[in-house]
Amino acid sequence: MSQPQASSERAEVSFCPFCHEGFEGRAECPEHELTLIPIDELPLHADRPVDQVTFFVDPRLGRGTPLLGAMLVLLGFIVPFVRSLELEASALEVAIDGAVNLWFTPAAAIVLLWILWRRRSRDTMRAARAAVLGLALGGLLPLIYTCRRIGLVAEVHGATVDWLAGLWLMLAGLLVTALGSRRLGSSR
């Protein structure tokens, strides 16, 4: 008993190089009158701009810099922030110990991540540019206020304050986010 050769009996599907439509058993595209080609010879559309991203951390469409900025802020919140004499604390510890306004800085980064999670198309990201800039500036204000308060209290007690990597990471993250908000939703 012989098995029928399904692949040899089946007509090969060829594609139009213009519209990418597939046709069985034809030599030309009925709409464009172009010679049909196999699928592996179809040209790729590398020059077409991306209109939507599907992966959350996809840096295209200007998402990379705000995403990097939010990650820097969150990292800076947990690494050492300030040192005075023998005391060293992260921004998380400072916020827990009484500077509750400092919670707004990582909250701004988390809201920014939520915006990037929800907005994946070019138009919706462009619509969020002002919100991303506002979050970057809004996250900066409590950071400046808390640093000023810590400096004043240290000055009253005659202590010196050393600002550590946590502060600089958060400032860099907020700056990167603010600058990146201008390009959010753009392809270049």
CA–CA gap between residue 163 and residue 101 (Å, rounded): 18
Quick: pLDDT tens for 81-111: 999 887 899 999 999 998 999 999 999 999 9
In the chain, domain spans: 6-41, 64-183
Candidates 33, 39, 77, 42; CA nearest to 173 is: 77
Tell me the pTM.
0.72
Is 42 or 166 the better-scoring residue by pLDDT? 166
Which secondary structure element, helix H or strand E, spans residue 88, and what is its range?
Answer: strand 87-90
Quick: pLDDT tens for 113-132: 999 999 888 888 889 999 99
pLDDT for 5 beyond 60: no
